[in-house]
Structure 1
Amino acid sequence: MEQLVQPADPLMLLTIAALAIIALLILIIKLKVHAFVSLTIVSLGTAIATGVASDKVVPTMMSGFGGTLASVALLVGLGAMIGKILEISGGAQVLADTLIGRFGEQKAPMALGVASLMFGFPIFFDAGLVVMMPIILSVASRFGGSPLKYALPSAGAFAVMHAFVPPHPGPVAASEFLGANLGLLLVVGLLVAIPTWYIGAYLFGQYAGKKFNIPLSKAFFNADTIVDASKLPKFTTVMSILVLPVILICLDTGLHTLAVAGVIDGNTPLVEFLRMLGKTPVALLITLLVCLVIFAKDYGMAKLEKLCGDSLAPICGVVLVTGAGGMFGGVLRSSGIGDALAGVLTDTGMPVIVAAFVIATCLRVAQGSATVALTTTAALIAPVVAVTTGLSDLDLCFIVIAIASGATVLSHFNDSGFWLVSRLLEMDEKTTLKTWTVMETLLGTIAFIIVATLSFVL
């Protein structure tokens, strides 16, 4: 984005940026103003304070807002529709039951975690956890032991998928800010998410299950989700739907890699058409159409249309907050604050990937929302990335994961996810801090260690 003000004193610009973030935290934490409204107010104030011309203030804000929504809203909307159809059709139940049958009783926590990893591709963290919780606790009741042994591997699976893997709004928004390749980010996100989940959620879940033997929750049933047992899809059907977008998106990335390597001609109409099918919005659209075709016979198009409509309402807040983060980022770029921050970080010698993690962690701890922490950090760090030489496509993906890692750690009282887990499992706050908060911190720290190590090695 074009810088719309004359170069100013970097110290003054950074002071304004610090005051903007403080104002953001006060509005959200102290005054309880919604994050969307808070980001809009702070964006306007920052533009005025940095001297953006009056006739350019609103266009600058709208450009940042619209540019972010253009990439995020479509992906999140399509993903939510796919997730809703699989939820109501009983896809999550089929996944869990089949995997438990194949893994066996002793590996039931592993089976629930793997099912949640798969189901977590199209569906948001909170929606996925609410859908899976009755299944998780019925398994805990059947096999015995602390519910945490079964719940934490599943909750951790949804957490890592939501934080690191497109089409979830966080990684999509960050990739848009930093210019990362979405297809490559999908591959990197999955490769980071799986070992992160195994160490930070599955192994820790087994440890926590032995240490904290909480009673079985009685308030976990989701009354809104009534699955018709006579219409349950086959396991292979659910797996095919979940794998289809991954295959299509990897098709785009694979063909691009082969073209760059000179193995194929990337300019042929066939290759260009196949790569188009692998673009994330098209891949998710194709997957949604396949869902509609498969489930139309049992549910009818009228029912499916209603499910698609119902899926959009819960995501509006997330999409608007993400767009407002883009608005704030647009103002930061146009005002020159991003360039000033880039200069300071260059002088300190702090690697970009470390700075991204530290900034995201500070914002996460201060105000709770992972989405706000992620979008604000990505907006702040984007100009730094733009002027940093030698960053490969892989490096950009690593920085996105580092930001998401910082936005994951230290979930506590100001995070809605903290209270969701606490109430679904009927845990007191102290136990939730010792289990959920520790697990989230492990997940974010492990993922950051992985990508930071890879960024220095590769």
Structure 2
Amino acid sequence: MDTIEPVHGTAVLLLIAAVAVAVLLTLIIVVKLHAFISLVLVSLGTALAAGIPVADVPDALTSAFGSTLASVALLVAFGVMIGRLLEVTGGAQVLADTLVSRFGEQRAPLALGVAALIFGFPIFFDAGLVVFLPIILTVARRFGGSVLAYALPAAGAFAAMHALVPPHPGPVAAGSVLGGDIGIVLLVNLPIAVVSWYVGVMLVSRVLAARIMVPVPDLLFGPKNGGRSEGSGHDDRPPPSFGLVLSILLLPLVLISFNTVLTTLRTDGLVAEEGLVVDLLVLLGNTPVALLITLLVTIGVLGTRGRTLAETTSLLDEALAPICSIILITAAGGMFGGVLRTSGIGEALTSSLEGVGIPLLLQAFLIATALRVAQGSATVALTTASGLVAGQAADLGDLQIALLVTAIAAGSTVLSHVNDSGFWLVSRFFGMDEKTTLKTWTVQETTLGLAAFAVAAIAWPLAGAL
């Protein structure tokens, strides 16, 4: 649904947004009302308070809910089924053992983070996280302690790649709007993403994991230690080889690469808009399709090893049952963010930052941050903020434009909170309540964004001199 013409001034809209977030947190944390109910209730109240016409309120709610549900439900469903089969057949344990043997126990979180950086190059944040989930949980179960030590480095790596590095849609769109060269944006932002991940995620996650104990959740994959307890579906069949497990994980990576790379090349005019072969590869690389293909392959090579198809189907049913709450809460979080976008609260917040005489790089960062805080979506913050500062970027060189994309991406990353669907995915996947998620994921996303902006600010004068 398009943004409505605001009926309130900027100050009132900002007050409505602040009250909405405060009420939502109170309902969930203090009153203990279910997060899904709280999100729907506050979204409805915010829509009415912000002046969305009463007749348009149902559409404002359901369109944002439906679009988020469409993007999340298939990914989570296919991903947890793949993860369940990897877990009960011992595949996740094989991969975890290999990673640990190569990197060592003390560097297991680093190994997960580096692997996530590699996998995160073509795969979106939510898809990458759901595919990696069984490996993260298996490593965490093996060594014990807080799951944050293993979850945050990997999740932060996917977040860094998704926000900063082409061919992900946010940085591609921002670079295009600013008139930059996407290749240079890639070359500049890739090392910045790695550096900011290590400083803002890897180092910070060690501190957070040492201070906050979050036990390894049983929600998705059953009882502790590989699911060998009764009812888990795990038995004494020989586990699959490392090569086979790695091939399964690489399959969606390769398929999704077709989609992201070819789509980017089409955007740049390097590949024809029409062509059956390219269209087919783009289709196969569509994330839900790629995960569906991977699931079918996993069923064929792992799920039916010593099992009937009916027994495998029963395992998949067990995997799907617990994730209904995750999907609904995530979609409701997207609905809350959508209502904030439709009401014009994001635009009201950014309009107060335009033309205030601050340096362009800092202005871009603050505008993106304002949009991120107001409406939740990092991609929307990236594309909107780049449009708002594009006029001031007309005389910049390619290196400075790439750094401007970095600053905007950094702003779109910080302060993930309750209007961000990714916040709810991380919260529910790793068994954290909302207060703990704010103290961990929100903090880490903020340090990641600040680290990226700091690198851009340091490099900005040098880029201007070249």
TM superposition score normalised by structure 2: 0.67
1:132 aligns with one of 139, 148, 162: 139
Q: Is the 8 A contact 1:5 1:51 kept in 2?
A: no
Q: Which amino acid aligns with 2:363?
A: P
Q: Is the 8 A contact 2:110 2:202 kept in 1?
A: yes
Distance in 1, matches of 2:286 and 2:188, equals: 16
Is structure 2 residue 153 aligned with structure 1 residue 157? yes
Q: Which amino acid aligns with 1:283?
A: A
Report 1:297-446 matches (<5 A). 297-298=304-305, 299-348=307-356, 351-354=363-366, 376=376, 378=378, 381=381, 384-385=384-385, 388-390=388-390, 403-407=412-416, 441=443, 444-446=446-448
Q: Quick one: structure 1 residues 64 and 398, their matched pair in 2 at CA, closer, same or farther if it must change by over 3 Å?
A: farther
Q: Is the 8 A contact 1:249 1:279 kept in 2?
A: yes
Q: Which amino acid aligns with 2:261?
A: G
Offset at residue 289 of structure 1 (A): 1.2
Q: Is the 8 A contact 1:89 1:232 kept in 2?
A: yes
Show the counterpart of 2:423. none
Q: Deviations over 1:28-84 (max 9, x none)?
A: 222222222222111111222223222222222111111211112122222222112
Q: How big is the alpha-carbon RMSD for the aligned residues of Structure 1 and Structure 2?
A: 5.0
Q: Is the 8 A contact 2:84 2:315 kept in 1?
A: yes
Show the counterpart of 2:59. 59
Q: Which amino acid aligns with 1:63?
A: S
Q: Which amino acid aligns with 2:335?
A: M
Q: Is the 8 A contact 2:410 2:452 kept in 1?
A: no
Is structure 2 residue 256 aligned with structure 1 residue 249? yes
Q: Quick one: structure 1 residues 193 and 237, their matched pair in 2 at CA, closer, same or farther if it must change by over 3 Å?
A: farther
SS of residue matched to 2:65? helix
1:234 aligns with one of 207, 219, 241: 241
Q: Point out the more displaced range, 267-276 or 187-196.
A: 187-196
Show the counterpart of 1:73. 73
Is structure 2 residue 49 aligned with structure 1 residue 49? yes
Show the counterpart of 1:114. 111
Distance in 2, matches of 1:442 and 1:6, equals: 33
Offset at residue 190 of structure 1 (A): 9.0
Q: Deviations over 1:375-409 (max 9, x none)?
A: 7465995895485253999978975665555339x
Distance in 1, matches of 2:380 and 2:278, equals: 36
Distance in 2, matches of 1:449 and 1:279, equals: 31
Offset at residue 165 of structure 1 (A): 6.5
Distance in 2, matches of 1:200 and 1:401, equals: 11
Distance in 2, matches of 1:258 and 1:300, equals: 44
Q: Is the 8 A contact 1:204 1:439 kept in 2?
A: no
Distance in 1, matches of 2:90 and 2:148, equals: 21
Show the counterpart of 2:180. none
Show the counterpart of 1:280. 287
Offset at residue 238 of structure 1 (A): 0.8
Which ranges of structure 2 fall in alignment gaps of 5 or more residues?
Answer: 120-127, 163-167, 176-182, 229-233, 394-400, 418-425
SS of residue matched to 1:388? helix
Q: Deviations over 1:197-221 (max 9, x none)?
A: 6556767889999xx8xxxx9x997
Q: Quick one: structure 1 residues 163 and 286, their matched pair in 2 at CA, closer, same or farther if it must change by over 3 Å?
A: same
Show the counterpart of 2:397. none
Q: Point out the more displaced range, 246-255 or 220-229.
A: 220-229
Show the counterpart of 2:298. 291
Show the counterpart of 1:92. 92
Q: Point out the more displaced range, 383-392 or 228-237.
A: 383-392
Show the counterpart of 1:16. 16
Q: Is the 8 A contact 2:415 2:446 kept in 1?
A: yes
Which ranges of structure 1 fall in alignment gaps of 5 or more residues?
Answer: 138-146, 167-173, 364-372, 409-414, 422-431
Show the counterpart of 2:124. none
Q: Which amino acid aligns with 2:258?
A: L
Q: Quick one: structure 1 residues 134 and 25, their matched pair in 2 at CA, closer, same or farther if it must change by over 3 Å?
A: closer
Distance in 2, matches of 1:449 and 1:9, equals: 34
Distance in 1, matches of 2:41 and 2:340, equals: 14
Q: Quick one: structure 1 residues 186 and 23, their matched pair in 2 at CA, closer, same or farther if it must change by over 3 Å?
A: farther
SS of residue matched to 1:265? coil
Q: Is the 8 A contact 2:415 2:442 kept in 1?
A: no
Percent identity between matched residues is 35
Q: Which amino acid aligns with 1:276?
A: L
Distance in 1, matches of 2:308 and 2:99, equals: 29
Q: Which amino acid aligns with 1:293?
A: G
Offset at residue 451 of structure 1 (A): 6.0
Offset at residue 222 of structure 1 (A): 0.5
Q: Is the 8 A contact 2:346 2:370 kept in 1?
A: no
Q: Deviations over 1:213-250 (max 9, x none)?
A: xxxx9x99716812434330110011111111111111
Distance in 1, matches of 2:264 and 2:26, equals: 46
Offset at residue 196 of structure 1 (A): 5.6
Q: Quick one: structure 1 residues 112 and 5, their matched pair in 2 at CA, closer, same or farther if it must change by over 3 Å?
A: closer
Q: Which amino acid aligns with 2:22?
A: I
